Amino acid sequence: YKRITVKSLVEMKANNEKISMLTAYDYTMARIVDAAGIDVILVGDSASNVMAGHETTLPITLDQMIYHASGVVRAIQRSLVVVDLPFGSYQSDPKEALRSAIRIMKESGGHAVKMEGGKEIKESIKRILHAGIPVMGHLGLTPQSIYKFGTYTVRAKEETEAQQLKDDAKMLEKCGCFAVVLEKVPAKLAKEVAESLTIPVIGIGAGSGVDGQVLVTHDMLGMTHEFNPRFLRRYLDLHTQMTEAFKQYSADVKAVDFPNEEEQY
Ligand code: KIV
Ligand code: NA
């Protein structure tokens, strides 16, 4: 396979080729996602919810992100691996931000980091980029700021926030970020931002007028059946299929149907 790089993503946008991105937090899942030809694998801090069962993304630590990311990196042959900088690892000052990004690059082998926010983290982004570490931005609904927003509803519906988002997106491109995630913003605004930038805009709940799409893998596989946002398309109903498999296994064990003659030594 020809490896995907941050350069290939910018080329894909220039060539009008859409970018596919999914999350993975472990080796086994990342093997499948990579081999299926997904362009970008995000080791998202959504691992805090999906893997650890926390209500928000805030509790996950840098050490835990590195653990998740190193398993993913060992699995991949082609995909670009982007790792979320978790809450608390980059907000206090640019030096701390750089130290955190360096730890991710050295200890996990990931290819880039993702950071939530615009102008308020500009100096940290610049510092990390100056060290040669590619940065993906993340604007719109930024779950690490959930206690400031109060809800997980659509962002930037009114003009001042929409204008701020456009300014932030421009700033991220100017600083040298290689891509930006836009989460849960009106499709019209997302399209406008994508058309105003040369770096790719990857949307989640941001409509089809952007340069690529990202979903949480466990959501699109239908494993998290209590989570039902409008933007989520489910490609499998694994929750039902897994439940049936577990029940069948239990029944087989109890009935001494498993293991059978061929399944023993
Ligand atoms: O952590 C995550 O999964 C994300 C995506 C939803 C963009 O940041
Ligand atoms: Na995230």
pLDDT for res 101: 99
- Considering every ligand atom shown, identify the ligand nearest to the alpha carbon of residue 218 and give its number: 1
Which residue from 20, 21, 29, 46 has its CB within 8 A of the most atoms of ligand 1, so it is best to mutate?
Answer: 46
CB 19 within 8 A of CB 9: yes
**Mean pLDDT across the stretch 80-90?**
98
Ligand 2 is a single-atom ion; what residues have CB below 5 A from it?
44-45, 84
pLDDT for res 240: 98
- Which residue's CA lies nearest to atom 5 of ligand 1? 44
- Cβ of residue 168 lying under 6 Å from some atom of ligand 1: no
pLDDT for res 1: 72
CA nearest 39: which of 200, 197, 218, 236?
Answer: 200
Structural domains of the chain sorted by starting position, each given as residue range(s) with its CATH number in brackets = 6-234 (3.20.20.60), 237-265 (no CATH)
Q: Is 64 exposed, middle or buried (0-12, 13-18, 19+ CB in 10 A)?
A: middle
pTM: 0.98
What is residue 258's DSSP assignment? S
pLDDT band at 31, cuts 50/70/90? very high
Give the separation between CA 202 and CA 181, rounded to whole angstroms: 5
- Considering every ligand atom shown, identify the ligand nearest to the alpha carbon of residue 180 and give its number: 1
Q: Is the pLDDT of residue 93 over 90?
A: yes
Cis previous bond, 259, omega within 30: yes
Structure ipTM: 0.99
